[in-house]
Structure 1
Amino acid sequence: MSSGKTSIFLLGATGYVGGQILTRLLAHPRTSTFEITVLVRSQEKAKLLESKFDVKAVVGHHGELGKLEQFASQAHVVFSCSDSDDLPMIKAILSGLKNRHATFGDLPIFIHTSGTGVLTDDARGMYATDTIYSDMNVAQIESLPPTALHRNVDLEIVSADQQGYGRAYIILPSTIYGLAKGPLVEAGISNPHSMQIPYIVKASIDRKQAGMVGAGKPIWPNVHIDDVADLYIVLFDAIMTRPDAVAHGREGYYFAENGEHTWYDISKAVGRALVELGVSETDEPTTLSREELIKYFGSEAMGNYGGTNSRCRADRGRSIGWKPKYTTADMLASIKSEVEIFLRKASSA
């Protein structure tokens, strides 16, 4: 096994969420007791992580299943913060954890990143739903169809927990916003940007008017990047100090949210920023055409994702001490700075 330190394998260190989790692990009061290994694609970033941050960095990609299985088998804790839909990757990690349990009798910990996309419908921007999911309502979550987004991966992880060779915890962030900060961002290792809001911002800049799917009526929750990263650490600390008191497996779903917005709210905030920055003459969003959905999001289906409902309450995270600070008002106030950043990038392209 190891030298008495807690062995951690983290996927997604160069990403938005994973980079912030790694940042917090490196600043953790017990960081001297951690042995952290990360998987990265870039040899340059691997060298930086090892030389500047004393992190073991393995160069590779998610398709190298044998490598994933190997390093998962060497870890007591695995953080999966990369692709929520890569089932072969997850199966390889779980195989590694199973091998570890069989070899050492260890009960490894698997903390996986899913998303509230699993709750989405086909509203296409035209209506809001009254259905709200609680992560304390196990039956409600288990009613989700296996065809829902991320669901096949989530079910595989829950099954592993039920088989008893590891303890699994699934964190489901909602619309994450805010610029990620810290030494990994400053070193050019991790990504400072989210995805959902920047997609709308970039499309709106290009068309010179805020855009939205349908009428922008559906509702989503939101959470600041700092708050969502804090949830991972609150959960990690609770598992490490009182594992039997922390729900896992079929009860181990943890939503991440601290407020709600409509898609229209986001597009309207983008519109206001475009007017203030002299890009658009009106702050009123207009409906994205089918051609625009394909142009800006890669496909009509991907575009329509920005017109779905996904409502939930993060009751379980709060029950173990998570205290998110940022609100929907903070999310809307943050949008102008995102518009300014992507305007600069567009003008220098």
Structure 2
Amino acid sequence: MPKIFLTGATGYIGGAVLTRLLEHPLQRTFEITVLVRSSEKVSLFNRTVGKKHNLRAVLGSYSDLDLLKELSAEADVVFACADADDLAAAKAILNGIHDKYSDNGVAPILIHTSGTGVLSDSSDGMYPSSTIYSDLNISQLETLSPDQPHRNVDLTLVQADSKGYVKTYIILPSTIYGFASGPLVENGLQNPRSQQIPRLVDVGLARGQGGMVGKGKNWWGNVHIDDVADLYLRVFDLLTEASPPPDFAHGRAGFYFGENGEHTLYAVGEAIAKVLSDMGKGSPTPMTFSDREIRLYFPNGTSLGSNSRCRAERGYNIGWRPSRKTQDMLASVKAEVEASLSQ
């Protein structure tokens, strides 16, 4: 039975990936271990999901490096769906994987969550970028600075793959939208909402007006949560195919963008402004966040004004078929506003 270790099970992405694994036709052949920070949710996982599936929840977090190493050393496949920027945690996972490889000489699989924030610039919403990255153009990706968001972890994984003891597949979602669904959400185990659009919605509600950084001229890709979860599972399923597609790569070439359309920040701000205006809050035209508002609502800084443009060509070439597009993302704004108001 293949042993799977997954982090981020209660999160938006990790929970969606875990739901796909629990629905998988071969699920009865899996042994799944998930790392969960809350003792209450550990108990709930083991009482509900664990009884129906071959799953155990273990109490711990990315701060528990010895535990990360131990659980990774037990796994054939690791899904890392928690903090994309925690280098110490990534190294602990790799150390565990190295121990597994030393035992049997078979390189385990690491499917790691990064993000297209690695492509971001400093445009502050003032201009679009003409640079569009392809996940098939490895030489272009290798021009990215090691100082870019997520990049130090990504490079560490690629280096580990080059040593032969692990096969790394790095998935880089763009702006994810939509509500996660399924038994984990229904049982209160998984966060059902994304970050970027709900954050803009909450700021719009707080200031009584939809807005954007600068002029909102910057571009980002977007992808629905169900579609990006399908990308993880497409990579997973291809691991056992005798003749996978030529572009199913790991290591240096193993980058997979999650994208199925792109949008300007102005378009998102306008969609929020229109919904709020229909409720009697502000103008239907989005208004730029002031410097004071940026400091107030985004105290740790924000990449919302950056450009992050990409094309998910590798995913498409390996058979990933996302169905939701930018118009679906913009249409989802109303439900996000309603969800924020109901909290």
- The alpha carbon displacement at 1:10 in A equals 0.1
Q: Which residue of 2 aligns with 1:12?
A: 8
Aligned length: 337
Q: Which residue of 2 aligns with 1:271?
A: 273
Does residue 42 of structure 1 match 2:11? no
The answer as to whether partners of 2:133 and 2:140 remain within 8 angstroms in 1 is: yes
| Structure 2 residue corresponding to 1:328, chosen from 326, 329, 337 | 326
Supply the distance in 2 between the matched residues of 1:243 and 1:135 (Cα, whole angstroms): 21
Higher helix share: 1
Does residue 230 of structure 1 match 2:238? no
Which amino acid counterpart does residue 62 of structure 1 have in structure 2?
Answer: Y
The answer as to whether partners of 1:176 and 1:225 remain within 8 angstroms in 2 is: yes
Which amino acid counterpart does residue 156 of structure 1 have in structure 2?
Answer: T
The answer as to whether partners of 2:238 and 2:244 remain within 8 angstroms in 1 is: no
Does residue 167 of structure 1 match 2:167? yes
Does residue 193 of structure 1 match 2:193? yes
Which amino acid counterpart does residue 38 of structure 2 have in structure 1?
Answer: S
Supply the distance in 2 between the matched residues of 1:72 and 1:324 (Cα, whole angstroms): 30
Does residue 319 of structure 1 match 2:321? no
Which amino acid counterpart does residue 119 of structure 1 have in structure 2?
Answer: L
Supply the distance in 1 between the matched residues of 2:44 and 2:231 (Cα, whole angstroms): 27
Supply the distance in 2 between the matched residues of 1:79 and 1:224 (Cα, whole angstroms): 19
Does residue 287 of structure 1 match 2:283? no
Q: Normalising to structure 2: TM-score of the pair?
A: 0.97
Unaligned runs of 5+ in 1: none
Which amino acid counterpart does residue 7 of structure 1 have in structure 2?
Answer: K
Change (3 A) 1:41 1:71: same
Alignment of 1:132-151 (within 5 A): 132-151=132-151
Q: Which residue of 1 aligns with 2:337?
A: 339
User: Aligned to 1:227, what secondary structure does the other structure show?
Assistant: helix
Which amino acid counterpart does residue 231 of structure 1 have in structure 2?
Answer: L
Supply the distance in 1 between the matched residues of 2:106 and 2:65 (Cα, whole angstroms): 22
Over residues 186-231 of structure 1, what are the superposed CA-to-partner deviations in whole Å (9 max), with x where a residue is unaligned?
A: 1000000100001110001000001110000000000000000000
- The alpha carbon displacement at 1:244 in A equals 6.5
Which amino acid counterpart does residue 115 of structure 1 have in structure 2?
Answer: G
The answer as to whether partners of 1:69 and 1:93 remain within 8 angstroms in 2 is: yes
Give the aligned CA root-mean-square deviation in angstroms.
Answer: 1.0
Supply the distance in 2 between the matched residues of 1:310 and 1:235 (Cα, whole angstroms): 23
Supply the distance in 1 between the matched residues of 2:223 and 2:244 (Cα, whole angstroms): 28
Supply the distance in 1 between the matched residues of 2:311 and 2:276 (Cα, whole angstroms): 32
User: Aligned to 1:79, what secondary structure does the other structure show?
Assistant: strand
Alignment of 1:149-160 (within 5 A): 149-160=149-160
User: Aligned to 1:203, what secondary structure does the other structure show?
Assistant: helix
- The alpha carbon displacement at 1:22 in A equals 0.4
User: Aligned to 2:240, what secondary structure does the other structure show?
Assistant: helix
Q: Normalising to structure 1: TM-score of the pair?
A: 0.95
Q: Which residue of 2 aligns with 1:28?
A: 24
Q: Which residue of 2 aligns with 1:251?
A: 253
User: Aligned to 1:223, what secondary structure does the other structure show?
Assistant: strand
Unaligned runs of 5+ in 2: none
Supply the distance in 2 between the matched residues of 1:242 and 1:66 (Cα, whole angstroms): 35
Supply the distance in 2 between the matched residues of 1:151 and 1:250 (Cα, whole angstroms): 13
| Structure 2 residue corresponding to 1:52, chosen from 33, 48, 52 | 48
